[in-house]
Structure 1
Amino acid sequence: MEIKTNYSTVTGIDPIVPEIIYLDNNATTPLDPRVLKAKMPFLTENYANAASTHKFGVSAHEAVKQARQQVADLIGADTHEIIFTSGATEAINLAIKGVAEAYSNRGKHIVTVSTEHSAVLDTCKYLETKGYEVTYLPVQSDGLLNLEVVKSAIRTDTILVSVMHVNNETGVIQDIKAISQLAHEKGVIFMSDATQSVGKIPVNVDDLGIDLMTFSGHKIYGPKGVGALYIRQRQNRIKIPALLHGGGHERGLRSGTLNVPGIVGLGKACELAGKEMDDSAERIREMRDFLENELLKIEGTWINGNRENRLYNVTNIGFEGVDSEALIMGLSNPESDEPMIVVSNGSACTAASIDPSHVLIAMGLDEVRAFNCIRFSLGKSISKEILGSVKLILFCRIEHLKSMAS
């Protein structure tokens, strides 16, 4: 059955709609042209190894040095506290496994959250096979942690508390400052996966009390394949061993030839995010609220996650009786002249899984309702006109799926 949507009949206008409407920015963002311009010379003309001592190599080293400053400035850190990695997943592994090895003499207990990204959860599960004990904190129905539950989970043998700043599926923002205080009161290291918050909302490692923090370039209009790990070296200095050996790069913590183009791109993306964050937040929030209000007019819809403490570009909406996978496939494989609409129903890093979202299950949804949910994550290029078309197409697709199911 071909599904057709007549925009002008329904809306009275004939909007200019792009061929692809991208609403999956929590999975990855498009590369900012200014970032591409900044990194391009290091892919073409200045291709030197940043570890080389000749003049050609020194120029690449200086570019990396500048990028390290740009990253540090965005999060309120010092440059020697920034370690470049291939992305947040590597940074998470380096941080958690590093703490486990360096501080095992103090204890072998780690506290994290049931709604963390799989990079954290899988790393913790690996450590359980090595004799470590992990407490996976439950969340409330709105996705937020109960601080009393956090406090009661920290023991005398706890060496690390790791809590994601912003959830990638719901956008829920945890009270990181309060949680880090609870950890520090017991002398425990505090870590945060800030992949969805850095560059989108103000993040200052001192204000929030963060000892270890991870993030990626491709979530903030930077390149894929590059990220960073913040390791506190002022006050409460954190010491972790290297996982990769072979040259002593990145203060001995991450050996290997530096990805100079990627690092330069990450630095530029951080610089731009710092300058444009407030304006972007205001405009994207307005777009998100518009889309959300329009979609909630569809019968049998609901929002997952706390509506007050969440990131401005995300809404996770359930559509009763609608298989999210079927809806996603229908939107991304239009049967007429409709645009492709790109959305998701969870983390891109677990896209191969056929299980329901572990985040939504942890928030109390049963499997059926969890499979009814779609995440919309907006970016800087969206407009109300485009979102109006999204609502119309979604309405038609949902009605079609419901009729097929009945």
Structure 2
Amino acid sequence: MAAADPRDSSSRLAPYACRPTRGRLIDEPESLIRSPFQRDRDRVVHARAFRRLMYKTQVFVSHEGDHYRTRLTHSLEVAQISRTIARVLGLDEDLAEVVALAHDLGHPPFGHAGEEALAQAAAEFGGFDHNVQALRVITMFERRYAAFDGLNLSWETIEGIAKHNGPMTGPLADPRPKPPVVTETLAAISSIKPLDLDGWPSIEAQVAALADDVAYITHDIDDGLRAGLLSIADVAEQPLAGPLLKQLVAAYPGLEQRRLIGELLRRLIDRMVTDLITETRRRIAAAGIAHADDARALGAPTVAFSAEMDQDRHAIKAYLFGALYRHVRVNRMTSKARRVVRDLVALFLAEPECLPDGWRERAEGPGNAVTARVVVDYVAGMTDRHARDEYEKLFNPFVRT
């Protein structure tokens, strides 16, 4: 009896699951032991940009404590949730996982504060967008392979990263103006293999996008409570979390706070994931989706929460925005972070000769668009620690360069 092909998962996939049918940006022989999406996942995991996520801020900078989430731990949690949902729905788990693992590769140091500073500093030179920066990382900056720059991922993986938040062009796209770097990067990739930017991505990529929400809502509550920026009493007043806390207190009176938080989080994740699976199944059945391209062509997303859960989700996000992301302690950290990023970009733009080897050669003199893009790409790739070290070396006259 012949051994089963380890690359073949078709027997457990639903008809609407995504299949790797459109190849890679650059043709290369496929693996004999891994499916294309498994190979994509492995390439992302081995990428330098993926390792750097360990030292990039989620909410709290890395030196504030060992147990707060970083971009790396966040990406791993998103990947775990994505795989669970994909398995239940009969989707390709590996595709959902690789989109989840790669979705934050373009984040600069210091989280959203760093992104805001980069966007402002680069406004007249094409702007900055972390989602598109992830595409630049996987198609340009990773240089591990002899035959091509980037990771040369499958079309479906690149599509999922590019569109995991929805269509990028056409009537279904977010109508807000996009910085030129977004349209230019997408056009460059589409000139090799069109990304069908008017439509939705695969169901797997949509799963990864909402798994991102589940992960960061729950782990930001966790980190906020452990840091003392949020209180159990305030969380108990929020929708979804409040009723779960009351159940826990009734079932386990006197439970220590560490265990109380852990139980709350796992139940929050379970409630949100179960709701998402139920609503997504309903939409698949209602739309008669029988093929991956059916979901791409819909006028609305296939993967979604119920209306009630969506309302609760937005209420919790609004609470976190005011109570956590705008807490004075976080505000002070983000103020310093913006200043570090802004000053680094300004210095390198005015004095590109201070850029390190490999970057300095690509610049074309101070103050022009080519140099600005080199500077932004360099700073965006920094970890929090690297940015702080560069700042000290360049602005503190008593630190050796």
* TM-score w.r.t. length of structure 1: 0.27
Name the one with the larger helix percent: 2
Higher RCO (C-alpha under 8 Å, 6+ residues apart): 1
* TM-score w.r.t. length of structure 2: 0.27
